[in-house]
Amino acid sequence: MRFSLACFFIAAQLLAPAGTPAKAEPRELVLVHSGAPGSLYEIGANEFARRVNERLPEDYRISVISDPALGDSPALVDAVRSGAAVFALPSSAMISVSDAFAVFELPYLIRNRAQVKTIRSALLENYLQPEAAKKGLRILGIWENGFRQFTNDVRRIDRPADLRGMRLAIPPNPWREKALRAFGADPVPMATRAVSDALRTGVVDGYEAPLTEISAQHLTDVQHRLSLSDHLYSPAFLITSRTQFERLPMPIRAVIMSEARAMEGWISTLAIDMESELVDQLDRDMEVTHVDTQAFRAASRGVYGEFIRTVPGGAKMIEALTDDLAHVSANGAPTD
């Protein structure tokens, strides 16, 4: 059977019209993400693919697959580890790889994007990359999903006491639950695709997410209050399997690594512009207010203490993200 098929293939090539040689299909390098249309996930993944494909030879191409049903869950990480995809773009799902990634779940530890840019290399190479390597993964870039906010249709949120008993939809993430419970809320983990129905049916009272996700859900008819808190900064990690990636030719890897890093600044600039525009847009249909950040920071002390006590190297990671570890105690968050 194999011989017959081989002979048929050769004959087909010989009989092909002159000037139309058979062309092999390019090898697809699949990048999977769970972002909704218009999200930073989708925009970033598509722009990255465009840039890389312009530089790759014709026998390679990156294709992007969006699967919102996955949510920001360990399934994204598993897609890379199993070989179902070459790249993935998880955010808090990286906590399934190591609790070291929960450093981004400490409220108000990240104040601005300049801070992330300053500590990026030290944090990645000294802490996050080694943890990813233990699970056979490699981080190619640290992109972002933005600063997180609160929406609800119950009451205005100024201080943590205003969240008491409020059921908030959050991604499945044990450290996010700890932070929200410290604020007094009742967090309800669920996939992003379930949030809209949960809000409309009253299963939850509000939503905790970046502005891009809040806008993508089109919830202004059932959520009338937007509380700008910036309580957490959510990065997005472009990851790959070390084994899969190292099998690619060096020139292909070089292009991918170069563009993955270049995307970091591009995504950050885009996120700043989008956040400004989205606040203006949402302000037309929602009551937009700012929370008392000092009160929320004070409420988060216990989460910092638990991170320092339970995550190996946790105190050093916090030090890498702050100017002076003297402001951090085993029971408290950094103070100004």
So what's the pLDDT on residue 192? Answer: 83
Residue 321 belongs to a domain? yes
Residue 63 belongs to a domain? yes
Residue 12 belongs to a domain? no
Its pTM stands at: 0.87
Q: What is the pLDDT of residues 249-287, one digit of tens each?
A: 999 999 999 999 999 999 999 999 999 999 999 999 999
Coil/strand/helix, residue 300: coil
Residue 245 belongs to a domain? yes
On the 0-12 / 13-18 / 19+ scale of CB atoms within 10 A, 4 is: exposed
C-alpha 222, offset from chain centre: 26
So what's the pLDDT on residue 333? Answer: 52
So what's the pLDDT on residue 24? Answer: 67
Residue 144's CATH number: 3.40.190.170
Q: What is the pLDDT of residues 104-119, one digit of tens each?
A: 999 999 999 988 888 8
φ, ψ at 170 (rounded to 5°): -135, 160
So what's the pLDDT on residue 5? Answer: 32
Run of H or E residues at 71: none
So what's the pLDDT on residue 70? Answer: 75
For the chain, which residues score pLDDT lower than 50?
1-20, 324-331, 335-336
Residue 17 belongs to a domain? no
So what's the pLDDT on residue 73? Answer: 79
So what's the pLDDT on residue 322? Answer: 81
Q: How far apart are CA 95 and CA 183, in angstroms?
A: 21
Residue 11 belongs to a domain? no
φ, ψ at 63 (rounded to 5°): -120, 140
Q: How far apart are CA 256 and CA 206, in angstroms?
A: 39
Residue 15 belongs to a domain? no
Residue 19 belongs to a domain? no
For residue 177, what are the domain limits?
A: 24-327
Find out whether 162 and 284 touch, Cβ atoms under 8 Å. no
What is the tally of structural domains in the chain?
Answer: 1
So what's the pLDDT on residue 25? Answer: 81
Q: What is the dihedral of CA 268, 274, 276, 280, to 10 degrees?
A: -170
So what's the pLDDT on residue 151? Answer: 97
Contacts of 168 (CB under 8 A, 6+ apart): 150, 152, 180, 185, 186, 187, 188, 204, 205, 206, 207, 208
Best CA proximity match to 178, nearest among 231, 117, 252: 231
